[in-house]
Structure 1
Amino acid sequence: MLEFTGQIDNAILAESAGHALNRHPALRSRFRLDLGTQRVEYRTDGPPGEVGFIDAQADGWSADELDRLVGVLCWTPFDLAEEAQARGEVIKVDDTTTLLVLTMHHISFDGWSRHLLVNEIIAGYQALRRGEALDPTPSAHPAGLVGPPPADVTAQRVAEAVDRLRGAPLTVTLPYDRCPAPGESSVLGANLSIELDEELTGKVMAVAAQEGSTPFMTAVALLAGTLSRYSGQRDFLFAFGWPGREDPATADAIGMFMSTLVLRVGLDETTTWRELVRNARIGALEAFMDCDVPLEPIATALNPGRHVIWPPLTPVLVNVDDLPLELPVAPGVTCRYRLDGPVHTKYDLDLFVRSDDGEHGSRLTLAIDYPTDLFDAATIETLLSGLRRSAVDLAYSTEEPCCARPADS
């Protein structure tokens, strides 16, 4: 959901969004299962999803009614066989506020695609405002951009990845408040976060820079150190999303290229915070090297009895939040992502790290998405406090063992 603030031309915005949904074959995808052959028919020659317009101001919509409408737009399922996998709605809230609700199915769309699509819609709006025609050229078809690696290469790489991960626990000891029986948990969640001030962020990232560690790798270290303090676990598998855009030809293509990678990070009683950051970096680099290895055969080898609809090797996901805070559109008009809707999470714990530049330096934000049927808010707040404590120790007690202090010190 995008919120435009300023004097926006809603008709032009709808035209630009509709053009973008039509230009990308992936967004016109249909997937039909042939029950006879048990094969999926994939087509992109159908019509695109529609972009509608609602004048909520003229029609007298209340705030509650508008919230319910947005919920319906966001969570109405797609018919994969009959419908395009993307649709939109432009909603005029008042004279200076417009919402653009874009709904895409993950089968045809990933996080990288989100940036491409939003940027294209804004660029199209700007072009139409200048009186220019939009580019009618279809974008590249995603099916023509990537292909499977040779079977013998895949088998060898899968075996190497399995060896790298073998022996690590396939679970993470988390401070659950409730543990529903398998199949009873929901994906409805909530989000809580903490922000590290400029001084602490600067010291944390200074240590990270010495070890060649990114904010993502640093977040992995902080999480592993914090969870180890709480539970005593010393070996962790964490999942993370990988854009899957190694081939330059995919850089500007909308589609579902993302894959899930799994990194391993470990520590023992003597591991210092600096060494843990180093371990996290090594684990991430090893996972990056396996970015073209499919996860399914790895999961089958390591966890053959898993339930196929749940994460295969770990209940914890770590990712980077790189959504821009604000996007310029036109003089006096800005756009920002609205993230105030319901949270849905498939993992038991999603940790997101983002870095924002401020007047006096950068600030790291650590945010956790969690299923509300597994955790109470107070438990997640305690875990976030533990992450802050770990950040302080990384910054100021860099050469001390991570496990030298209890979690609640």
Structure 2
Amino acid sequence: MNQNKNIEDIYPLSPMQQGILFHTLLSPNSGEYIPQVCLTLTGLLNIEQFKQAWEYVIARHQSLRASFHWERREQPFQVIYRQVNLPWQQQDWRNLSPDEQQDLLKNLLKTDSQQTFNLKKPPLIRLNLIQLTDQTYKLIWTQHHLILDGWSAGLVIKEVLDVYQALSVGKQFSLPKIRPYGEYIAWLYKQDLSTAQQFWKEQLKWFTTPTSLRIEKNLNSISHENQPEEQQVKLSQTTTSTLQSFAQKNQLTINTIIQGAFAILLSRYSGEQDILFGATSSGRPVGLTGVESMVGLFINTLPVRIKVPGQAVLISWLKELQNQQSEALQYEYTSLLEIQKLSDIPAGLPLF
């Protein structure tokens, strides 16, 4: 197909896409924005029908056919292609022992996460299906965060499995009609920025120094080999139930409690009472019909400014924080770069 005829649409980036593109270009080898999903599939699998299911879902969603461009334009933009090739790999490890399979899988996941994407060549995903036994498979789905958030990734997986299920039993299938990601971008650029700018300017008024953990960060040194260590902590069922009960009793969300605890922690580490950190919002506007089933990058990172007093009634303080969160969500469409320009923090320093 002719390159121009294969173009379906062209539109700007969302605020979060702008930020991720900036950091990707600043540190292209970090792998920070290349998440992986590793699924275990059991039972008889018709591989051709499974591939067809992926092709159907990719054709259904604009974001899965997007490329990104930033040269010779004042603002970066994304190009949506009508058709793209499915980036598919397939391997058969049935002759290997379980231990050998585990070692190979571990190495493959690491190698795959270090493989960058050409942002100008869609789709920004790749699939690798590995057969472990006659009825056991591993699917590695790697994507660039520019095109998807966690909510959207879950929608894609569900749709692929629904389509495959229908194909495998010879049923007609018809997924619900969805709105293209471009309609969200159009909505985004119609919002009243002046009101949002005034809100964030007031929120950050007189905050001049980023909250510091006294940890130096050199962006130029970030690579796959020296990524920060991650530690996952699973709360016990008792602790989780206690948190849920406390939240329900005091009409608080778990998110509010976690943010409050994090603010207290930052206050103690930094020695400051006026704290600023970033928090992720879903970015899916309630007023946009059908947004819950749209696939793309909607999340945004917003500044959360909290004053941690030496003496305060905990419940009242948390409720004040929750009210602040609700108000901020009205303006969650604002670009973090734009918010930073409105702050009193000197140019060249990060917000958090």
Q: Shorter chain as normaliser: what TM range?
A: 0.7 to 0.9
Check if 1:132 corresponds to 2:171.
Answer: yes
Whole-angstrom CA distance in 2 between matches of 1:144 and 1:92: 39
- In structure 1, list runs of 5 or more residues that go unmatched: 315-409
Deviations 1:293-326 (A, max 9, x none): 332221112245236xxxx421xxxxxxxxxxxx
Whole-angstrom CA distance in 2 between matches of 1:14 and 1:138: 21
Deviations 1:111-137 (A, max 9, x none): 221111111122122222322245489
Whole-angstrom CA distance in 1 between matches of 2:190 and 2:172: 43
Whole-angstrom CA distance in 2 between matches of 1:43 and 1:35: 18
Whole-angstrom CA distance in 2 between matches of 1:56 and 1:14: 19
CA contact (8 A) 2:68 2:76 kept: no
Whole-angstrom CA distance in 1 between matches of 2:211 and 2:219: 16
Taking only the aligned residue pairs, the percentage that are identical comes to 21
Cα deviation, residue 182, structure 1: 5.8
Counterparts in 2 of 1:8-407, with a 5 A limit? 8-9=44-45, 11=47, 12-35=49-72, 40=77, 42-58=79-95, 62-135=101-174, 139-147=178-186, 148-150=188-190, 153-168=192-207, 170-174=209-213, 176=215, 179-181=216-218, 183-186=220-223, 188-246=227-285, 247-302=288-343, 303=345, 305-306=347-348, 312-314=350-352
2:333 partner letter: D
Number of the residue aligned with 1:318: none
Equivalent residue of 2:155, what SS?
A: helix
Whole-angstrom CA distance in 2 between matches of 1:32 and 1:181: 26
CA contact (8 A) 2:68 2:79 kept: yes
Deviations 1:335-385 (A, max 9, x none): xxxxxxxxxxxxxxxxxxxxxxxxxxxxxxxxxxxxxxxxxxxxxxxxxxx
Q: Are residues 68 and 138 of structure 1, via their aligned partners in 2, closer, same or farther at CA, if it must alter by over 3 Å?
A: farther
Cα deviation, residue 230, structure 1: 4.0
Q: Are residues 145 and 36 of structure 1, via their aligned partners in 2, closer, same or farther at CA, if it must alter by over 3 Å?
A: closer
Deviations 1:128-152 (A, max 9, x none): 232224548985331133324457x
Q: Which has the higher strand share?
A: 1
Aligned residues: 307
Tell me how large the CA RMSD over aligned residues is. 3.0
> What is the TM-score normalised by the length of structure 1?
0.66
Q: Are residues 265 and 282 of structure 1, via their aligned partners in 2, closer, same or farther at CA, if it must alter by over 3 Å?
A: farther
> What is the TM-score normalised by the length of structure 2?
0.75
- In structure 2, list runs of 5 or more residues that go unmatched: 1-36
Q: Are residues 82 and 292 of structure 1, via their aligned partners in 2, closer, same or farther at CA, if it must alter by over 3 Å?
A: closer
CA contact (8 A) 2:200 2:342 kept: no
Q: Are residues 134 and 170 of structure 1, via their aligned partners in 2, closer, same or farther at CA, if it must alter by over 3 Å?
A: farther
After alignment, is 189-198 or 296-305 more displaced?
189-198
Whole-angstrom CA distance in 1 between matches of 2:177 and 2:118: 24
Whole-angstrom CA distance in 2 between matches of 1:164 and 1:280: 13
Whole-angstrom CA distance in 1 between matches of 2:177 and 2:308: 50
Equivalent residue of 2:185, what SS?
A: coil
CA contact (8 A) 1:28 1:49 kept: no
Number of the residue aligned with 1:387: none
Whole-angstrom CA distance in 1 between matches of 2:254 and 2:107: 37
Whole-angstrom CA distance in 2 between matches of 1:236 and 1:37: 34
